[in-house]
Structure 1
Amino acid sequence: MFKNSFHSIATTWLAGVLALLPLALSLALLGWVVSLLNGLVGPSSMVGKLFAELGQPFVSSQELAWLLGTLVLLVALYPLGLAVQLGLKGPLSRLFGYTLRRIPLIGPLYGLADRFVGLLDKKEDADLAAMSPVWCFFGGDGTAVLALLPNPQPIEIDGRAYHAILVPTAPVPVGGGLLYVPVEWVKPAEMGMDRFTSIYVSMGITPPSQPHA
């Protein structure tokens, strides 16, 4: 009886730990991110001191000067974003590239960062524009899977035409398993990307349109 009582207490305690664990991990991760940002752009960091110089003419406190300088920088980013949206991204990029790439130490670092950001932009554009929703019927008439077709052009494997399809991992529509299936198994899904995304984000609660065999 004592053993059963102890097992019940331990099970209840473990259930409480498991219920609290996601919150504890979230707070720990948040604390790590805050600590990292404080080390990079906090008042005592090199970047933070530059922010403080922006606010120093208006306030005497070092912390308030850093906060004011940070706010000034955040506000200044808004018109820059407007300029990018109005089509000035190319000229601004060429201007920064022309000036910064000529600086011996900063030039190579800026070039590396610029290429990395460019890869991210291309990946986002490809995810949104190049993929199309499709139905994949495994076996030709078996299980139906709603997937994404990254490229409509098939490839040949052992003399047979295959499509590359991406089966998303809910609720993230752009990540999942990449499968190569025969082209006759794949049929277009009569829906847009918004409908496709809503189906996966809702974990299937939002019904898809009727597939056509």
Structure 2
Amino acid sequence: MLKRSVNSIATTWLAGLLALLPLALSLALLGWVVSLLNGLIGPSSTVGKLFTGLGQPFVSSQELAWLLGTVALVIALYPLGLAVQLGLKGPLHRLFDRTLRRIPLLGNLYGLADRFVGLLDQQENADVAAMSPVWCFFGGDGAAVLALLPNPQPIEIDGRAHFAILVPTAPVPVGGGLLYVPVEWVKPAEMGMDRFTSIYVSMGITPPSAPKE
């Protein structure tokens, strides 16, 4: 009787834990993102010190100066965004290409950053928008990996047809690995890019649709 009561209490407690687990994981992910942003643009970071310099002429507190500088930069980005939408993006991009790309080391870093931003801009990057989600079954019937198929045309490697697939990383799906796998390992995944991205960003909390046989 006592054992049955303990099992009932444990089951009820576990049910409550599972109910709160998605919220806990979401808060943990949010905390990680906040910590990452604080390291990149927080008051003690290099970029944060630039923000602090913008606000220091107006306030004495370092934290308030950083906050004021950040708000000023955010406000300043809005008219820049309007100018880009009105046609400034092309000339601005050409200006950066002609100046920054010619500077040793900085030019390489700018080129890498420019390609990274291009991957994020799916509306203007037809290559990324044309990718299709697929299931890759390693070994033909082994582990299933959700990946992207950038090109539906296979290539021949050592006399065997292969697909090039991109396997993203979670929770930041813009990175990952490029693999060449046999075509018989790859099957279409019945989902759009929005669901594909949400699966990786949620680190698997968002369930994928069942693979099509």
Alignment check: 8 A CA contact 1:169 1:175 kept: no
Q: Gapped runs of 5+ residues in structure 1?
A: 132-149, 156-163, 177-202, 204-213
2:37 match: 37
2:109 match: 109
Q: Which amino acid aligns with 1:89?
A: K
After TM superposition, give the deviation of residue 173 of structure 1 in Å: 7.5
Alignment check: 8 A CA contact 1:40 1:47 kept: yes
Alignment of 1:111-190 (within 5 A): 111-122=111-122, 126=126, 167-168=190-191, 172=195
2:18 match: 18
Q: Gapped runs of 5+ residues in structure 2?
A: 132-149, 155-186, 200-208
Alignment check: 8 A CA contact 1:56 1:62 kept: yes
Greater C-alpha radius of gyration = 1
Matched, 1:85 2:47: no
Alignment check: 8 A CA contact 2:56 2:65 kept: yes
Q: Which amino acid aligns with 1:104?
A: P
Q: CA RMSD in A?
A: 3.3
Q: Which amino acid aligns with 2:41?
A: V
2:141 match: none
Q: Which amino acid aligns with 1:70?
A: T
1:5 match: 5
Q: Which amino acid aligns with 2:49?
A: K
Please give the per-residue CA displacement for 1:9-45, whole angstroms capped at 9, x wherever unaligned. 1100100111111111111111111111111111111
Aligned residue pair count: 150
Q: Which amino acid aligns with 1:168?
A: M
Q: Distance in 2 between matches of 1:120 and 1:170?
A: 12
Q: Which amino acid aligns with 1:7?
A: N
Q: Distance in 2 between matches of 1:120 and 1:171?
A: 13
Q: Which amino acid aligns with 1:24?
A: A
After TM superposition, give the deviation of residue 102 of structure 1 in Å: 2.4
More displaced, 97-106 or 53-62? Answer: 97-106
Alignment of 1:40-59 (within 5 A): 40-59=40-59
Describe the SS at the equivalent of 2:29.
helix
Change (3 A) 1:120 1:63: closer
Q: Which amino acid aligns with 1:167?
A: E
Alignment check: 8 A CA contact 2:122 2:129 kept: no
Change (3 A) 1:154 1:30: closer
Q: Distance in 2 between matches of 1:8 and 1:20?
A: 19
After TM superposition, give the deviation of residue 116 of structure 1 in Å: 2.3
Percent identity between the aligned chains? 74
Change (3 A) 1:111 1:69: same
Alignment check: 8 A CA contact 2:53 2:65 kept: yes
